[in-house]
Amino acid sequence: MPKNSKAVKRELDDDVTESVKDLLSNEDACDDSFKKSSLIVNNHEGEGKECDVEEGGSDGEEEERPAWNSKLQYILAQVGFSVGLGNVWRFPYLCQKNGGGAYLVPYLILLILIGIPLFFLELAVGQRIRRGSIGVWNYISPRLGGIGFASCVVCFFVALYYNVIISWSLFYFSQSFQQPLPWHECPLVKNKTSPYVVPECEKSSATTYYWYREALDISNSISEGGGLNWKMTVCLLVAWSMVCLAMIKGIQSSGKVGTALAPCSHTLVLICFLVRALLLKGSIDGIRHMFTPKLEIMLEAKVWREAATQVFFALGLGFGGVIAFSSYNKRDNNCHFDAVLVSFINFFTSVLATLVVFAVLGFKANIMNSKCVALNTNKIVALLGNGIEESLIPHHINLTQVSQVSAEDYHQMIDIIRGVKEDEYRQLGLESCSIEDELNKAVQGTGLAFIAFTEAMTHFPASPFWSVMFFLMLVNLGLGSMFGTIEGILTPLIDTFKVRKEFLTVGCCVLAFSIGLLFVQRSGNYFVAMFDDYSATLPLLIVVILENVAIAWFYGIDKFFEDLKDMLGFTPYRFYYYMWKFITPILLMVLLCSSFIQLIMTPPSYSAWIQEEAKEKNLHFPPWGIVVCISLVVMAIMPVPVVFGLRYFNIIDENTSGLSTVSYKKGRIIKESARPGEDDDASLIQGKSPSEAPSPMPGNSIYRKQSGSGGPDADTAPNGRYGIGYLMADMPDMPESDL
């Protein structure tokens, strides 16, 4: 029977309210009857109690919002998102740079104090509110709704250059089906007399030359554009096409891809590489270097700052992908278990990748050390009788066969020479040829994968096979992270504007590819470094701080704990209460302040490859480059103050947060003005168009879910796939123009 406003008021007895969170969590399939009908009555005081009215049965979750096929599919997708290229080259580089094994200590501490609590928070928020990042933070506090838009902007910036790295991997993958590999040796230039080695390659190395000249064809500075690199342009198009096709059908498609890719790329390939690397000569030297602690470095603030930044990137905190993925979970999913599991899978994957990297670097260091020994032994032979007496050479060392001189023999010779010719030793130009020195020269960033690894692979038996496996792993790792990053863009926009996912996905990928052409010109590598340094780090840190503060202080930590207890069936450890409310925000603020100080004290710069000198040189960004760096930071965080200002000055009504808070239920939103003599608190919401639909925020309104079949009168979403609102009280049909 239809119920009027008075009937609803009598049923509620007092000023009874049901929280929005329960309204959202109790959504049922539109084609089934409901077990319960949820009501919200918000009075002027904003206080009330919850009340449920029992009705028919239901099969559970709403069928309109996609869901994971299984728990395993979801876990693998989250692992695929969190474990990416950074685990292969960024984490090992930071470990090597900041004291080897000593870096693991601050990283593990910050993972426990910052990483896991914030990862758990994002998983819980997404699962509870079941929205993308925009809808989630609009629900928590409309004035902080800009956090969701800032997450989308950061995701977009990261996706722009992250897919470029995937395109580099695709290029190397396509070139790996050759024997010998094209970066095996320096190319020869033929002339009329005799061929000679390309000078740029002769001054550096075959793999370095191939990376900078054959793959990137890099210019000498960021100011020299140099036109598009057509090979990388094609690879970038392929990379975006793969992402677009995988994402166009939603989480089922990306989840299945993640299920297939994760085991191969995250475990099997790394284990195979580790076993093979440990069999190489000198690999133990690299492992020993990794676990040799430099405790004095661990006390530096820079080490802790870089460890914390890596925690954010490793777990994908602030990107919105974590929230987007968890929003498709069942309401009673144990997201605390997921947070701990994925965090430690990520950590151990990073350690496994680091073991592989250091084993390979140990092998490479021994090769480079052997070359150093041979080169300097030839110098000693040339100096015999002309600065070095033959009597200084130990009798058991045969200098007629330089290739037979070992590193130990060489060190014995230079120790004797240094002791006898202490004053003249520097003039002789003899190098120490230390394996430790070679390990300390390890290439950073992308160079670690595309220079160091490729050089090591040239010494592997069946090198094309290992090259194919390695770059296939990089592509898979990159795609797994890209799926989560793109999901962090698409899900909140779809939740907010109710557009078809296919159209939005294609449009987003086409736009990103068009902007991405900036990264495949000859100076593109410098723009990749710029975006990596300035478009994500600071904005990401600010977003994470605001997320933590929004939950702990705006929404209320006690209320959030009640939500978790209702959702999980148990109360989380008190550890998280103090982390979210006090310790984690303080640590994040200290990290933010130190980052600002570093930026002020260190002018923006980048590492340029000088073709004539065949070496890298640190250059400062030109004035327009500094403007771009600042603009990237400002654009990423601008949505936060803009949305806050619009809400604060009531330019946008705080009680109208738009479509991001509207349910996925098929139905219509009906509004009826309060009749004379009735309390406004019992008035039903009058019909509004989707763009005017009120948010489930505090206000004077009643929402009601009523059983129904979602028949022809039900108002569906513009895309025909998602519903636009809750069914309200049964009322006479209204003209379509009034909806």
Predicted confidence (pLDDT) per residue in 330-354, tens digit: 888 999 999 999 999 899 989 988 8
Of 128-142, 431-445, 448-462, 677-691, the one with minimum mean pLDDT is 677-691
Give the pLDDT of residue 704.
37
Mean predicted confidence (pLDDT) in 624-638: 93
Mean predicted confidence (pLDDT) in 178-195: 86
* Contact between residue 673 and residue 505 where contact means Cβ atoms under 8 Å apart: no
Burial classification of residue 116, based on how many CB atoms lie within 10 Å of its CB (0-12 exposed, 13-18 middle, 19 or more buried): buried
90 vs 545, which has greater pLDDT? 545
Phi/psi for 188 (5° steps) reads -105, 145
Give the pLDDT band of residue 668 (cuts 50, 70, 90): very low
Q: Is the pLDDT of residue 696 over 50?
A: no
* Contact between residue 451 and residue 208 where contact means Cβ atoms under 8 Å apart: yes
Apex 600 CA angle, 596 and 605, nearest 5 = 110
Give the pLDDT of residue 94.
83
Give the pLDDT band of residue 735 (cuts 50, 70, 90): very low
Q: Is the pLDDT of residue 175 over 50?
A: yes
Mean predicted confidence (pLDDT) in 100-115: 88
Q: Which is nearest to 484 in space by CA: 284, 241, 320?
A: 320
Which helix (H) or strand (E) segment is 54 a member of? strand 52-54
Give the pLDDT of residue 43.
37
What is each CA distance from 571 to 342, 548, 561, 566, in whole angstroms?
Answer: 21, 19, 7, 8
CA 445, 451, 452, 457 torsion-angle sign = positive
Q: Is the pLDDT of residue 586 over 60?
A: yes
What is each CA distance from 426 to 65, 422, 430, 712, in whole angstroms?
Answer: 73, 8, 7, 91
* Contact between residue 363 and residue 287 where contact means Cβ atoms under 8 Å apart: no
What is each CA distance from 399 to 319, 404, 427, 431, 735, in whole angstroms?
Answer: 60, 8, 21, 17, 100
485 vs 32, which has greater pLDDT? 485
Q: In the 8-state DSSP scheme, what is residue 602?
A: S
Residue 83 annotated as part of some ligand binding site: yes
Q: Can you tell me the distance from the alpha carbon of 36 to that of 1, in angstroms, rounded to the nearest whole number?
A: 16
Q: Can you tell me the distance from the alpha carbon of 584 to that of 119, in angstroms, rounded to the nearest whole number?
A: 12
Question: What number does CATH give the domain 71-364+446-649?
Answer: 1.20.1740
Phi/psi for 63 (5° steps) reads -85, -15
* Contact between residue 435 and residue 366 where contact means Cβ atoms under 8 Å apart: yes
Mean predicted confidence (pLDDT) in 122-134: 90
**CA 72, chain centre distance (Å):** 21
Of 258-267, 544-553, 674-683, the one with minimum mean pLDDT is 674-683
> Domain ranges in the chain?
71-364+446-649, 368-440
Q: Is the pLDDT of residue 699 over 80?
A: no
Apex 475 CA angle, 469 and 477, nearest 5 = 100
To the nearest whole percent, how much of the chain has pLDDT over 90? Answer: 30
Q: Is the pLDDT of residue 520 over 90?
A: yes
Residue 80 annotated as part of some ligand binding site: yes
- What are the beta bridge partners of residue 54? 36
Give the pLDDT of residue 19.
39
Residue 477 annotated as part of some ligand binding site: yes
pLDDT (tens digit, 9 = 90+) per residue, 472-484? Answer: 888 988 888 898 8
Mean predicted confidence (pLDDT) in 552-579: 93
Mean predicted confidence (pLDDT) in 409-414: 89
The β-bridge relationship of strands 188-189 and 196-197 is antiparallel
Of 242-246, 290-294, 618-622, the one with minimum mean pLDDT is 290-294
Give the pLDDT of residue 64.
56
Q: Is the pLDDT of residue 242 over 60?
A: yes
Q: Cis before residue 180, ω within 30 degrees of 0? A: yes
Residue 590 annotated as part of some ligand binding site: no
Apex 315 CA angle, 477 and 103, nearest 5 = 95
- What are the beta bridge partners of residue 384? 388
Q: Can you tell me the distance from the alpha carbon of 633 to that of 76, in angstroms, rounded to the nearest whole number?
A: 32
CA 517, 522, 528, 530 torsion-angle sign = negative
Q: Can you tell me the distance from the alpha carbon of 65 to that of 537, in angstroms, rounded to the nearest whole number?
A: 32
* Contact between residue 86 and residue 545 where contact means Cβ atoms under 8 Å apart: no
Q: Can you tell me the distance from the alpha carbon of 198 to that of 213, in angstroms, rounded to the nearest whole number?
A: 11
What is each CA distance from 633 to 140, 153, 325, in whole angstroms?
Answer: 25, 10, 26
Q: Of the ranges 130-134, 195-199, 235-239, 454-458, which is most confident?
A: 235-239
Give the pLDDT of residue 717.
36
How far is the first Cα of the chain from the last one, in angstroms, to the nearest whole number? 22
Q: Is the pLDDT of residue 81 over 70?
A: yes
Q: Can you tell me the distance from the alpha carbon of 134 to that of 149, in angstroms, rounded to the nearest whole number?
A: 6
* Contact between residue 78 and residue 329 where contact means Cβ atoms under 8 Å apart: no
Give the pLDDT of residue 238.
96
**DSSP characters over 80-125:** HHHSSHIIIIIHHHHHHHTTTHHHHHHHHHHIIIIIHHHHHHHHHH
Q: Can you tell me the distance from the alpha carbon of 1 to that of 7, in angstroms, rounded to the nearest whole number?
A: 11
Apex 684 CA angle, 43 and 674, nearest 5 = 85
Residue 237 annotated as part of some ligand binding site: no
Q: Which is nearest to 547 in space by CA: 146, 241, 131?
A: 146
Give the pLDDT band of residue 80 (cuts 50, 70, 90): confident
Sheet containing strand 36-41, strands side by side: 52-54, 36-41, 702-704
Give the pLDDT band of residue 250 (cuts 50, 70, 90): low
Mean predicted confidence (pLDDT) in 396-419: 86
Q: In the 8-state DSSP scheme, what is residue 702?
A: E
Q: In the 8-state DSSP scheme, what is residue 550?
A: I
Give the pLDDT of residue 367.
85
pTM of the model: 0.74
* Contact between residue 709 and residue 31 where contact means Cβ atoms under 8 Å apart: yes
Q: Is the pLDDT of residue 54 over 60?
A: no
Alpha helices in 86-220 (DSSP H): 91-97, 101-110, 116-129, 133-140, 146-174, 199-203, 206-209
Q: Can you tell me the distance from the alpha carbon of 215 to that of 652, in angstroms, rounded to the nearest whole number?
A: 50
Residue 229 annotated as part of some ligand binding site: no
Q: Is the pLDDT of residue 686 over 50?
A: no
Which helix (H) or strand (E) segment is 306 a member of? helix 301-315
Give the pLDDT of residue 253.
54
Give the pLDDT of residue 266.
64
* Contact between residue 240 and residue 509 where contact means Cβ atoms under 8 Å apart: yes
Give the pLDDT band of residue 537 (cuts 50, 70, 90): confident
453 vs 413, which has greater pLDDT? 413
Q: Can you tell me the distance from the alpha carbon of 241 to that of 641, in angstroms, rounded to the nearest whole number?
A: 35
Q: Of the ranges 40-49, 135-144, 423-432, 726-735, which is most confident?
A: 135-144
Give the pLDDT of residue 156.
94
Give the pLDDT of residue 429.
82
Give the pLDDT of residue 675.
39
Give the pLDDT of residue 655.
60
Q: Of the ranges 60-69, 211-220, 426-435, 491-500, which is most confident?
A: 211-220
Q: What is the mean pLDDT of the chain?
A: 77
Q: Can you tell me the distance from the alpha carbon of 492 to that of 182, in angstroms, rounded to the nearest whole number?
A: 44
